[in-house]
Structure 1
Amino acid sequence: MAFNCKQRLRDNIEAIRTAFTLERERRAATPEERALLQKYCGFGGLKCILNPARELTDAVHWAKSDLELFAPTAELHRLVRGNSKDDTQYKRYVDSLKASVLTAFYTPKEITDTIADVLADYGVRPARMLEPSAGVGVFVDAVLRHNPDADVMAFEKDLLTGTILRQLHPDKKMRIDGFEKIEKPFNNYFDLVVSNIPFGDIAVFDAGFQRSESFGRRSAQKAIHNYFFLKGLDTVRDGGIVAFITSQGVLNSTKTSVRDELFRQANLVSAIRLPNNLFSDNAGTEVGSDLIVLQKNLRKTELSQDERLMTVIQTDTKTNLTDNAYFISHPERIVHTTAKLDTDPYGKPAMVYTHEGKTAGIAEDLRRMLDEDCHMRLAMRLYSGAIGQAGERKAVAVEAKPEQPAMKPEATITARTEEARTEKPQPIEEKPEIEPRKPNYQAGVQLSLLDLWG
């Protein structure tokens, strides 16, 4: 189904209205109200909400092509203003809405279900799951289908989206905050971290990253997608899985220090390039993205050949097309039916991939590729063995091991980068003053924030 701006805006308005009603009446959603909440798709692709719409005279500033959206946009602002306790809160809501226009591209349910299904087929049914950029929780829903009792923590920075997320999952730990606010005791804690993470040159400040002696960790703060990868890997336990849909900026960047940092402490499970029309129906936009699945391995000693490829960038001198060496060597890992040389949003040469089968066709090809990759690379002894080890030590209160120095690619592969790589091992982090209780997987006990903080 093609993206319909007017219908999407209407769905969002009704979802927000329902969430405000539930908060005001302090009750759980009925099945009909849950259906309304689940239609919320964020404001990615709805640039009309950036226009002034407080008074009727504001319509003169709108483009003719957007005038049909003026009335629902004005309704949206009246709804938010009427449910704000003061002008300050209203401004926070509006700022949050505007910020989401460029970043809120929700993953189709068929894709999230495919990722969760394949991982579950290989025994990855996490007891502890983290979603660092949850939206309305489509990844949470997908994982809970296989383990309804999973202990879930999710972050959503957008205020209105976070409000809806809490109403959809009142029995889980839904936090309206940025992922950088996760507490240190949750390092090495989760079995699975999965998300469609934000992307762009959005800086994130993290005191731990800022103090790090690793150049890769310090530089990751400059781009939010790089930060989410390294932070996500921090929070997953040894043997656990990080599965992120992200922009091509993670693998296509000529700055390789972040990828060096990732593969120093994690094994590549899968890297699949997704077609540009993946988000066409949900957000009316075409953007290149990748699915990257990693498995944390703190005892890793060397890089595989494919991991070395992923740290390398190659540029075609004829087309000036810069791409990750992994996809040049493995074109079969690109989900598409057609491809053409075009430009990216920044005007640089880029390959544009599309899939004529739309969402259903994309999900089918993704399932096949991800299944093949998991069969070949997912180390279930590492995943399952680390679960048993986690039961022997205190939950969460784990000392971080010194990081190993970066491993250089073999001489046959050259990474063109001018970045400094004089990195020293990380200092051992101190244990948190409060040590949470031991996990009891057999008893099915779930830790709450009250457990962690006494």
Structure 2
Amino acid sequence: MRNNIEAIRVAFRLGVEKRPPTADEREELGRYAGFGGLKCILNDAKELADAAKWSKSDIELFAPTVELRRLIHDYSKSDKEFAAYMDSLKASVLTAFYTPSPVIGAIADSLKSNGIEVNSFLEPSAGQGAFVDSFLQRYPGAETLAFEKDLLTGKILSALHPSISTEIKGFEKIDPDFEGYFDVAASNIPFGDFAVADPRYATSKEIAYRQSTKAIHNYFFLKSLDSVHEGGIVAFIASQGVMNAASPFVRMEMMRRADLVGAFRLPNNTFSDNAGTDAGSDLIILQKHTNKKALSADEEFFIQSIVDRETKAPNNKYFVAFPQNVICTEAKVGTDQFGKPAIIYKHEGGVDGIAADIRKALDESLKLRLNLD
């Protein structure tokens, strides 16, 4: 919370003073981690009396929440702008879980060492730009387009990355000219069953396009496959809902339009330190291949979600076939954030151990399945 407040303060100050950040300010901006793990900002915090409505577990964050509101209020040009900032921030609480940089580094390193060139890079849900940082370190000078819907996070992204094109709006607003343009799209895409307003997809003849607008993570996959060129790569961290969902429609469409380079189930503690969430997630890597004639055995598995008879936990046949792609040191039956049965995966090596194992598994998949031609 403290890091987020200081980063927002710096971003506002830079906006007023119309200058780039100093080295110290860059560091402060870089500590911004979004509000995905800080649901308390949804509570009332206009006056001291509101504290009575706060739970014991959140009360220590009451004063900083008041400070956050005041800071945003003081820098807003009008009540309308203040309301827009607060609404945007509250909406981001449900989707903003930032990826630790060693994990992103493992993905970018693996792509680079396996011969992938990146001259144009798309980040459709950029946060403060952790994926942008990682990829630009390895591919300096790559033309980069980043989208961030949250107004405050967008300010921080712009301040940290003056050399890239930043769009502070939803990915669905991408210019149609960018269709088939990018070499690589990589991101940790929003989690949750949010609908997306994309008239072109919503009225499409293709059922999968129409279905995808109902769940934001499915939409991001199909829209990004549209945005990369033939042979281009889409590498997304997404909720387990993509691979575990009962309906196969969107997975079928993904496999119809791309080759599956690899899928990896990440441990539930991947985001614990960075974003305060234990949400289950997968890393899915696709290579665009329109008009393909047949599916591989791996891709047939990927389409099929299953429910374990004993544990009642959902899974995907792909992980049954490739247990080595489940990145964990222990697995036990538990419940997800909605109280439904789920397998909870843990990695005792923490973020660095997770990143090392992802790198190893990813290298194997890329060597086997990436088509460099």
TM-score by length of 1: 0.81
Match among 262, 267, 270 for residue 278 of structure 1: 270
SS at match of 1:276: coil
Instruction: Say whether the 8 Å CA contact 1:125–1:146 is kept in structure 2.
Output: no
Aligned residue for 1:379? Answer: 371
* Secondary structure in structure 1 of the residue aligned to 2:166: strand
In structure 1, how many angstroms separate the alpha carbons of the residues matched to 2:31 and 2:307?
Answer: 42
> In 2, are the aligned partners of 1:314 and 1:322 still within 8 Å (CA)?
yes
> Is the aligned partner of 1:172 residue 2:191?
no
Equivalent position to 2:187, from 182, 192, 195: 195
Equivalent residue for 2:197? Answer: 205
Q: Distance in 1 between matches of 2:68 and 2:48?
A: 14
**Equivalents in 2 of 1:45, 1:202: separation in Å?**
18
Measure how far apart 1:236 and its partner are.
0.4
Q: Rate the CA distance shift 1:180–1:260 in 2: closer, same or farther, 3 A.
A: same
1:330 aligns with 2:315: no
- Please give the alpha-carbon distance, in whole angstroms, between the structure 2 residues aligned to 1:147 and 1:210: 35
Q: In the alignment, what sits opposite 1:63? A: 55
Structure 2 SS opposite 1:145? helix
Alignment correspondent of 2:231: 239
Identical aligned pairs, as a percentage? Answer: 55
Q: Which amino acid aligns with 2:212?
A: A
1:233-312 pair list within 5 angstroms: 233-312=225-304
- State the distance in 2 between where 1:64 and 1:244 align: 37
Q: Deviations over 1:94-129 (max 9, x none)?
A: 111111222111000001111001001112231100
Q: Is the 1:129–1:151 contact (alpha carbons within 8 Å) kept by the matching residues of 2?
A: yes
- In 2, Cα distance between the equivalents of 1:291 and 1:115? 9
Distance 2:58 2:339 in 1: 26
Indicate whether 1:315 and 2:300 are aligned.
no
Distance 2:130 2:314 in 1: 33
1:28 equivalent in structure 2: 20
| CA apart distance, 1:299 | 4.1
Tell me the equivalent position of 2:121.
129
- 8 Å CA contact retained: 2:36, 2:92: yes
1:215 corresponds to 2:195? no
Offset at residue 320 of structure 1 (A)? 2.1
How far apart in 1 are the matches of 2:319 and 2:184? 25
Whether the aligned pair in 1 keeps the contact of 2:244 and 2:306 (CA below 8 Å) is no
Match status 1:10 vs 2:2: yes
1:348 positional shift: 2.1
Query: Secondary structure of 1:264's partner?
Result: helix
What amino acid is the match of 1:220? S
Q: Which amino acid aligns with 1:76?
A: L
**Residue 65 of structure 1 aligns to a residue in which SS?**
coil
Equivalent pair of 2:230/2:288 in contact (CA under 8 Å):
yes
Q: Which of 135, 143, 162 is the aligned partner of 2:135?
A: 143
Residue aligned with 2:57, SS: helix
Hey, which of these two has a bigger chunk of helix by percent?
2
Is 1:99 aligned to 2:96, yes or no?
Answer: no
Partners of 1:223 and 1:299 lie apart in 2 by 25
SS at match of 2:110: helix
Whole-angstrom distance in 1 between the partners of 2:64 and 2:306: 47
CA distance in 1: counterparts of 2:132 and 2:112, whole angstroms: 14
Matched, 1:120 2:112: yes
8 Å Cα contact 1:337/1:355 also seen in 2 = yes
Any idea what the Cα deviations from partners look like across 1:369-419, whole Å, max 9, x if unmatched? 0000000001111xxxxxxxxxxxxxxxxxxxxxxxxxxxxxxxxxxxxxx
For the 8 Å contact 1:157–1:178, the answer to whether it is kept is yes
Partner of 1:82: 74
Measured in 2, the distance between the counterparts of 1:161 and 1:125 equals: 29
Report the residue type matching 2:171 in the other structure.
F
CA offsets, 1:314-358, max 9 Å, x none? 223333222111111111110000100112222222111000111
Matched, 1:160 2:152: yes
Worse-matched range after superposition: 313-322 or 347-356: 313-322
Shift of 1:138: 0.6
Aligned equivalents of 1:27, 1:144: Cα separation in 2: 22
Amino acid at match of 1:225: H
Match of 2:31 among 34, 39, 56: 39
Task: Say how many residue pairs are matched.
Answer: 373
TM-score normalized by the length of structure 2: 0.98
Retained in 1: the 8 A contact 2:192–2:216? yes
Structure number with greater Rg is 1
